Amino acid sequence: MSKKALITGITGQDGSYMAEFLLAKGYQVYGLTRRTSTITTERIKHIAANIQLVEGDLTDQHSLTHVVREIKPDEVYNLAAQSFVPSSFKQPVLTGEVTALGVTRILEAIRVGYPQAKFYQASSSEMYGKAQEVPQTEHTPFYPRSPYGVAKLYGHWITVNYRESYNMFACSGICFNHESPRRGTEFVTRKITQGVARIKLGKQKKLLMGNLDAKRDWGFAGDYVEAMWLMLQQENPEDFVIGTGETHSVKEFLVEAFKAVGIKNWQDWVEIDKNFYRPAEVDLLIADPKKAFTKLNWKPKTSFSQLVAMMIKNDLKKEEAGV
């Protein structure tokens, strides 16, 4: 019998890669989607025939309990969240409801509905925020700098708590930023690659940016879903830092993107707009992924320049086609 997996956030970047990955491994894949007035399944339309969508919302306990009871999944990947830091400053309470309490709701659904399910929580390097140590490991103290980071920290600890209180197989991947051609266009990497592609094609004159000095450990989302899966195949549930161990500034990402389309004078096209600055910034994130490298035998396969090139190529194609 093939294994069953339930993915929350299947319509998002990671959910779509996770669904592809699990289908290739022979899983029966179920995806939780919420009711929206427009279609949000763009990222999974190529695999729609092979997955089953079920309706529910992380703010609605009943729907989650019902879905878990019906499916009885072997594995649950909780990838759903209000995931954008600036929106978390604008909608802090909603972010807490979804990104923090939503984790308790799905854990409760598993506890009462099918406690033998293995659970993966999408924790985030944003929990390190004002980083207390460089690079960041599983033992680095947390210091979140946004309502999003604070909500993720709650989700992280409630996962630890359910593991220790109820002996559930529940664990978190503390994932550093991971990007792809499917990344939302509001995040800095995709905003840059889409903007640079449009500038190259003469469709845009300026790229308005915020803080170019912030540094992130950027990897490829397609590589990271493998690490998430590996965590649930271990003998015991444990938390892992997932990242590349390399850091780059937003400015370096910009330079690389303009270079990829053959534009040298990038400064001519970029303008700083204070509206993109945040009330509190996370200056430097860099993972120490040694534990994942040794215990999971996982390594990222995509380099920084390969990631930028992949995203630029996709955006040039999309912009040329006018989609």
Region of 47-55, 99-107, 165-173, 180-188 interacting with ligand GDP (CB under 6 A): 180-188
CA angle at 47 for the pair 300 and 176, rounded to the nearest 5°:
25
Nearer to ligand GDP, 43 or 191 (CB): 191
Indicate whether 98 belongs to the interface with ligand NDP (CB under 6 A). Answer: yes
Of residues 99-128, those binding ligand GDP (CB under 6 A): 126
User: Going residue by residue from 191 to 210, which x/- string records binding to ligand GDP, judged by CB under 6 A?
Assistant: x-----------------xx
Which residues are part of the catalytic machinery? 124, 126, 148
Q: What is the closest distance, in whole angstroms, from the C-beta atom of residue 153 to ligand NDP in the complex?
A: 12
User: Going residue by residue from 210 to 229, which x/- string records binding to ligand GDP, judged by CB under 6 A?
Assistant: xx--x-x-------------
User: Going residue by residue from 241 to 280, which x/- string records binding to ligand GDP, judged by CB under 6 A?
Assistant: ---------x-------------------------x-x--
Beta bridge partners of 6: 30, 76
Q: What is the closest distance, in whole angstroms, from the C-beta atom of residue 84 to ligand NDP in the complex?
A: 7
Q: Which of 88, 177, 193, 302 binds ligand NDP (CB under 6 A)?
A: 177
Tell me which of ligand GDP, ligand NDP, none is bound by residue 209, counting a contact when its beta carbon lies within the kind-specific cut-off of 5 to 8 angstroms. Answer: ligand GDP
User: Going residue by residue from 135 to 174, which x/- string records binding to ligand NDP, judged by CB under 6 A?
Assistant: ----------------------------------------
HEC-encoded secondary structure of the chain: CCCEEEEECCCCHHHHHHHHHHHHCCCEEEEEECCCCCCCCHHHHHHHHHEEEEECCCCCHHHHHHHHHHHCCCEEEECCCCCCHHHHHHCHHHHHHHHHHHHHHHHHHHHHHCCCCEEEEEEEHHHCCCCCCCCECCCCCCCCCCHHHHHHHHHHHHHHHHHHHHCCCEEEEEECCEECCCCCCCCHHHHHHHHHHHHHCCCCCCEEECCCCCEECCEEHHHHHHHHHHHHCCCCCCCEEECCCCCEEHHHHHHHHHHHCCCCCHHHHEEECHHHCCCCCCCECCECCHHHHHHHCCCCCCCHHHHHHHHHHHHHHHHHHCC
Q: What is the closest distance, in whole angstroms, from the C-beta atom of residue 175 to ligand GDP in the complex?
A: 10
Binding residues for ligand GDP, rule: CB under 6 A, are 85, 126, 177, 186-189, 191, 209-211, 214, 216, 250, 276, 278, 281-282
Binding residues for ligand NDP, rule: CB under 6 A, are 8-9, 11-15, 34, 36, 40, 57-59, 79-83, 98, 122, 124, 175, 177-178, 184
